[in-house]
């Protein structure tokens, strides 16, 4: 073998051995991530979020789905719930111990956010300098440590700071963008001059003058649209004022649905409001509006004529 080739081969073997040593680190214990808690998010069924200066939020899990219990009784936004549950296994980038009197330095004596995942409490404090992380406490960890070791100090963790803003977000973002609760069975759809209703197991379209049979496939598509349509925006605390009352409504001013759920029947009424080429489906009883497009409204009102304005909308 040529001398240069032999030298290159030897160098290659040395580099390969060094790479293997760096990767496996023989004789050294591999580093492990630390987490804020050992909770399994799948085992959590109740969430309480206390937010200084704004309303508290309560959620509970029923079956596979999460529901707001306060300040509204509505299906919860699953994306927001997953963000909250992720706190249970949030990575702790570093931790240190402090005396109780030192908690004030990290705004953990009166935290801006306290969250209960079932019976375990977590407090979120101020932002750490430079890295944007947040100080956090796992109260159960500190109680257990005090009981086991007689240690009166608190363990403060540094976690990703984004969770703080998510927990203090507007209540709108906690409400499901779906128009109907998951699993709800529609029993009736009612417009001012039309009603789609189940009669002896079959759908019928009733008008102000008569009633008629209807294509089963068309009904299935309509029901599916209602069950799957998601709003682009949920707006809570809509002001029902004089200006809103005078808004130009579409020809069909409201849609009423009767739905059947595991805990009974419910009647939901949406008032249709057009605003800047967007449609608000407003629940006046809750003062909450779900924003959809004209195209979505057309699919949701397949059997009902819509205005020329909507048909020509892009």
Q: Give the alpha-carbon dihedral of 269, 71, 126, 124, to 10 degrees.
A: -110
pLDDT at 59: 98
Structure-model confidence comparison of residues 238 and 292, the more confident one = 292
Question: Do you find a cis peptide bond into 171, omega within 30 degrees of 0?
Answer: no
Which of 221, 204, 222 shows the shortest CA–CA distance to 213?
204
| Pairing mode, strands 154-159 and 233-235 | unpaired
Parse the chain into domains and list their residue ranges. Answer: 34-174, 185-311
User: Can you tell me whether residue 210 is helix, strand or coil?
Assistant: coil
pLDDT of 98 strictly over 80:
yes
pLDDT of 311 strictly over 70:
no
Q: How far is the C-alpha of 100 from the C-alpha of 54, rounded, in Å?
A: 26
From the centroid of its chain, how far is CA 69? 14
Q: How far is the C-alpha of 136 from the C-alpha of 87, rounded, in Å?
A: 10
Q: What is the CATH number of domain 185-311?
A: 2.60.40
Q: For residue 200, how many other CB atoms are within 10 A of its CB?
A: 5
CB within 8 A of 213, min separation 6: which ones?
202, 204, 205
CB within 8 A of 174, min separation 6: which ones?
57, 59, 68, 76, 77, 80
Which of 154, 124, 100 shows the shortest CA–CA distance to 52?
124
Span of 69-73, 138-142, 162-166, 253-257 with lowest mean pLDDT:
138-142
CA–CA distances in Å: residue 289 to residues 103, 233, 271, 313: 41, 8, 9, 21
Q: How far is the C-alpha of 189 from the C-alpha of 66, rounded, in Å?
A: 25
pLDDT of 144 strictly over 80:
no
Span of 14-23, 66-75, 83-92, 285-294 with lowest mean pLDDT:
14-23
pLDDT of 308 strictly over 70:
no
**Is 47 in contact with 84 (CB distance < 8 Å)?**
yes
Query: What kind and span of H or E run contains 24?
Result: helix 3-24
| Pairing mode, strands 134-138 and 211-213 | unpaired
Predicted TM-score (pTM) of this structure: 0.79
């Amino acid at each position: 073998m040529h001398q240069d080739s032999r030298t290159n081969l030897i160098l290659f073997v040395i580099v390969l051995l060094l790479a293997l040593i760096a990767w496996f680190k023989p004789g050294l214990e591999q580093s492990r991530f630390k987490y804020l808690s050992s909770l399994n998010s799948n085992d959590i069924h109740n969430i309480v979020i206390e937010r200084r200066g704004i309303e508290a939020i309560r959620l509970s899990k029923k079956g596979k789905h999460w529901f707001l219990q306060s300040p509204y009784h509505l299906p919860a936004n699953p994306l927001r719930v997953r963000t909250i549950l992720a706190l249970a296994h949030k990575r702790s980038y570093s931790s240190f111990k402090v005396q109780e009197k030192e908690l004030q330095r990290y705004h953990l004596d009166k935290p801006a956010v306290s969250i209960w995942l079932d019976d375990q409490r977590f407090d979120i404090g101020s932002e750490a300098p430079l890295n944007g992380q947040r100080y956090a406490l796992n109260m159960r960890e500190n109680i257990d440590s005090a009981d086991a070791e007689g240690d009166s100090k608190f363990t403060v963790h540094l976690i990703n700071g984004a969770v703080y803003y998510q927990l203090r977000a507007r209540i709108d973002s906690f409400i499901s963008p779906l128009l109907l609760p998951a699993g709800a069975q529609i029993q009736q759809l009612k417009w001012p001059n039309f009603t789609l209703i189940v009669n002896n197991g079959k759908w019928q379209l009733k008008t102000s003058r008569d009633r008629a049979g209807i294509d089963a496939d068309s009904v299935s598509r309509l029901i599916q649209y209602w069950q799957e349509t998601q709003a682009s925006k949920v707006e809570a605390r809509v002001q029902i004022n004089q200006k809103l009352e005078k808004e130009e409504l579409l020809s069909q001013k409201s849609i009423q649905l009767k739905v059947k759920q595991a805990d009974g029947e419910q009647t939901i009424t949406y008032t249709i409001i057009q605003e800047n080429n967007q449609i608000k489906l407003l629940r006046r009883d809750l003062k909450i509006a779900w924003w959809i497009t004209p195209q979505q409204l057309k699919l949701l009102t397949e059997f009902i004529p819509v205005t020329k304005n909507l048909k020509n909308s892009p």
